[in-house]
Amino acid sequence: MGIEGMVVAITGASSGIGAATALVLAGRGAKVVLGARRAERLEALAGRIGMAGGEAAHRPTDVRRREDLAGLVGLACERFGRLDVLVNNAGVGPISRIDALRVEDWDEMIDVNFRGVLYGIAAALPVFRRQGSGHVVNVISTAGLKIVPQQGVYAATKNAVRTFSEALRQETVAGLRVTNVSPGMVRTGFADAMTDPAVKAAINERMDRIAIPAEAIARAIAFAIEQPADVEVGDIVVRPTVQD
């Protein structure tokens, strides 16, 4: 099937894995629709893609708002006439010990990491049904595969997406594919939103030591979506070779 000509919407596209995915896919001929909260970064990324000969549309998108996801999917259909792939990438990780009771951080992770995925799928499914085809790619995390201290709520949100994705896969009719991509330690701004200074410092130190580039995840996403229509890549784990 290939990637050239595909229309791909990406949340959390202004930096990190989302931006890397946009660049990789646009470089292979996809038309990308970029959503994130930081409008100026979206504009810069879309300009970079355009300068390289690619096609990109963008729209400020807060995945906590259902109407924003509907608007992102609507932009894809208005600008390019269809939507082939939705990459649910937006995520936050203000991790901490549970007994620190940073309940506001818990709420943020639930709203962005899980509710945002649900809103994206709710926006895209009617389009996929109408077309008779579509692909949902959910960027999850290895945090849901190996549970460790300080990541309890974060891992729970990621595993909620994993569980929901399996149900979606079983319920879908022919023509709709579902892929989960679980990155390990990736060189991004993941720690920027952390509110616990000690945890933030530890994560940044570990990232400096072992993290892989965001492009590694982007290539895995590209691999999943470029498969023939009758092939579904269900789960991909991409992590540093030295990660526990």
d(CA 63, CA 60): 10
The owner of tokens 């991790």 is: 95
CB atoms closer than 10 angstroms to residue 198? 11
The CA distances from residue 30 to 4, 64, 85, 183, 218, in Å, are 5, 26, 10, 22, 13
User: Quick one: 111 exposed, middle or buried, by C-beta within 10 A (0-12, 13-18, 19+)?
Assistant: middle
Cβ proximity of 31 and 203 under 8 Å: no
Q: Do you know the residue count of the chain?
A: 244
DSSP 65: S
Catalytic residues: 154
pLDDT tens for the chain, residues 1 to 244? 689 999 999 999 999 999 999 999 999 999 999 999 999 999 999 999 999 999 999 999 999 999 999 999 999 999 999 999 999 999 999 989 999 999 999 999 999 999 999 999 999 999 999 999 999 999 999 999 999 998 999 999 999 999 999 999 999 877 899 999 999 999 988 888 788 888 888 888 988 899 999 999 999 999 999 999 889 999 999 999 999 8
Q: Which residue has the tokens 């526990």?
A: 244
What domains can you pick out in the chain, each with its CATH number?
7-238 (3.40.50.720)
How many helices, marked H, and strands, marked E, lie in the chain? 8, 7
